[in-house]
Structure 1
Amino acid sequence: MEELLKIKTAIIDEFNSLGIEGLNLTDLNLLKGSYINLEYTLSNGQKVKLLEDDKMYLGNQVEIEGKERCYGVAADENYLLVCEYGCNGSDPEIVVYKRRQDKSVTER
């Protein structure tokens, strides 16, 4: 349990350090990839999913003040994903998708 808390704290710090306006995480939950794996339309029109349906992620949803949209965040041992979407995951947009900086906490 202590190890999970260390991992969550490190990932929360990584998300908060991105400096995204209105995104201030205090907790993460274990979420199944199939539940949070949205399909994004890239600038070239290609549709992609960035997560794996059968994998577990640490993530959360944060309402964006003054908008009818939310941030969705998800992380695994390698990547951070921040997206923005409307009601029920509609019109998702990738805000940040990047390799994690401090993977040492989750590597064994």
Structure 2
Amino acid sequence: MEVKKIIKTLREKNQLTQEQMAERLMVSRQAISRWENGDTQPDTESLKLLSKEFNVSINTLLGTPRKLICQCCGMPLNEDDLISHEQDGSFNEDYCKWCYENGTFVYDSKESLIDFLAKQMPNPENLSEEAMHNQIDLWLSKLKHWK
């Protein structure tokens, strides 16, 4: 979906006029109109405010241009309700809500995450515990958090 449609849908879903939305975002009604018509797009600060005010990720506001994955466990972040939040309520699009909560990482070490994942993941090839741990470790080592 295009940015202009996303913003209009967000406004209508929250039953706001352009004027009311403009007040919440500290912009003019004309800015909202230009965004919804596709004449302009919100700047970075406006996107951050939209994200926080309406609890949607910036990635979603931009029409999901990036395929997000948790940089701790590798889980796809294809829904906003899976994405973690900072203490101030803003989204942290690098991590899932299970690995990073309110500005704090849940797993103290890669080994503790590997132990958890090894118990949760299917093992159709009946790999040994050591082989399963090695496979998960190899995958996690490619993610930003564990580099």
Report the TM-score range of the alignment, normalised by the length of the smaller protein: under 0.3
Higher helix share: 2
Question: Higher relative CO (CA 8 A, sep ≥ 6), structure 1 or 2?
Answer: 1
What TM-score results when the alignment is normalised by the length of structure 1? 0.25
Higher strand share: 1
What TM-score results when the alignment is normalised by the length of structure 2? 0.20
Instruction: Answer with 1 or 2: which has the greater Rg.
Output: 2
